[in-house]
Amino acid sequence: MRKGLFISSLMVFMILSACSKKPESSARVEIIDGIKCIHNTEIPLHPNKTVFFEEELSIGGEEYNMLFRPQMFVVDQKENIYIADYQDQSIKVFDPNGKYIQTIGRKGEGPGEFSIIGYLTFLPDERLMVMDLEARRISLFDSDSKYIESHHWAERPGGLIYATESTCLLTVYTFEGDNPLEDMKLYVKEFDFQGNEIISFGEFKTEEYKIHSEKRGEATISMVIYLPYSPHSIFAADPVRQDLYHCVNDVYEIEIFDKEGKVIRRFDRPYKLLPFASKDAEEFYSHYESRPMEDLKKKVRKMSMPAVKTISSRMLVDDSGNLWVETHEQKEEEDRTFTAYDIFNADGYYEAKVWIDKRPSLLMKGKMYRIETDEESGYWFLKRYRVIWTD
């Protein structure tokens, strides 16, 4: 009797253990020059996993007449929402329920004021850092949103990737040679808050472009025309681990740099590039049709178009360390456009491929945040969604 009970209990335990066991990846792992390289298969670990977003908060519209033209936002660990407003160059703060708390700064050149807010982020010690591109200045605010200090830079700051308690990692474009517009180069560099370079991660690949110049009276107007789907470097960051994700987006291989600028890991997966269709070309042409430069329109129409699209133009990392790769795969369902996202875990294994119809800007604590506009009213909104996963 006891022996039969023991065997039954053992069988139940083994069944439960098998059910709770995570699926094993069939990825091939190898070490190349001391770097761990993970070669994922085309099928993710969880092929049936799906996700959708359920709206739970909307800030904007008529009842929020202090929110004019939101351009970017951040969320602190208490889930308070900080929205940078382009129109009055201030930062509006709302609590997790959407209640207005206070406004940080205003348009101006004094301490705690902003000319053009370029980027904002929270530092690990919960200070708020605001990069003012026009004033070439970094301003710091404490956890209660009180102004602390500013640091002026000799040069205009680049694009913010992430920041530590005393440094920031930026993309930096330089214009070199006899014709600066035609000799643009892209670097990733770490700076201290005074604008002094600490480390260079090296040179990366810029988008392909052409320069168009036209005489307008006594003046010559020059314009950069970026070619559609040209291979170039794209980045994402995990600010907690201080890892930089990078790929040249015509090859599905992603490399991770540590905070010292050293590649510590790579991962990839098989992927077939999508064809570049005639409708893609027409969409590209349409961006220039409204411009009053006739020579520009003719030049754009004569440009050679690519045969295929790149894999992605954007990646982002959620607060669990998962990398979301936004692909160019799309499908239409019930008058909605869905985009395919590949999700890799923090170790580089291909977890899931999901289709979503709302482009996420921030994924944090099981919530998704993004800025939206209402086409009919023209109002801007900051919306928060609950992230719901299904298998």
* Residue of 184, 158, 157 lying closest to 171 (CA atoms): 158
CA-based radius of gyration for the chain: 24
Determine the average pLDDT of the residues in 342-348: 97
Q: What is the DSSP string of 315-368?
A: EEE-TTS-EEEEEEEEEEETTEEEEEEEEE-TTS-EEEEEEESS--SEEETTEE
Angle between helices 294-302 and 278-289 (to 10 degrees): 170
Residue 6 pLDDT exceeds 70: no
Instruction: Give me the pLDDT at residue 289, please.
Output: 85
CA dihedral in degrees (140, 143, 148, 153; nearest 10)? -10
- The neighbouring-strand residues paired with 90 are 85
Pairing of strands 263-268, 35-39: parallel
What's the pLDDT band for 218 if we cut at 50, 70, 90?
A: confident
Q: Are 54 and 388 in contact, with CB atoms under 8 Å apart? A: yes
H/E run at residue 162: strand 159-163
Cβ count within 10 A of residue 290: 7
Say which amino acid occupies 22: K
CA atoms of 318 and 328, how far apart (whole Å): 20
Q: Which fold has domain 33-390?
A: Neuraminidase (2.120.10)
54-80 tens-digit pLDDT: 999 999 987 766 788 899 999 999 999
Indicate the pLDDT class of residue 178, thresholds 50, 70 and 90: low
Q: What integer pLDDT is reported at residue 13 of this predicted model? A: 43
Evaluate if residue 177 carries a pLDDT over 70: no
Q: Looking at the predicted structure, is the pLDDT value of residue 209 above 80?
A: yes
How confident is the model over 247-283, as pLDDT tens digits?
999 999 999 999 999 999 999 999 999 999 999 999 9
Kindly tell me if the per-residue pLDDT of 321 is higher than 90. Answer: yes
Quote the tokens at residue 10.
């053992």
> Which position has the token pair 């900080």?
82
Instruction: Return the minimum-mean-pLDDT range out of 15-19, 126-130, 376-380.
Output: 15-19
The pLDDT score that the predictor gives to residue 21 is: 53
Count of residues for the chain? 391
Per the DSSP assignment, residues forming a β-bridge with 319 are none
At residue 182, the pLDDT reads 66
Please state, in angstroms and rounded to a whole number, the distance separating the CA atoms of residues 184 and 50: 41
Report the DSSP beta bridge partners of residue 350: 344
- What is the band of 175 on the pLDDT scale with cuts at 50, 70, 90? confident
What sign does the dihedral 187-190-191-196 (CA atoms) show? negative
Q: E strands, 193-285, where?
A: 197-204, 209-216, 219-226, 233-238, 243-248, 253-257, 263-268
Predicted pLDDT of residue 68: 87
Number of neighbouring beta carbons within 10 Å of residue 78: 9
98 within 8 A of 58, measured Cβ to Cβ: yes
The answer to whether 348 touches 43, Cβ cutoff 8 Å, is no
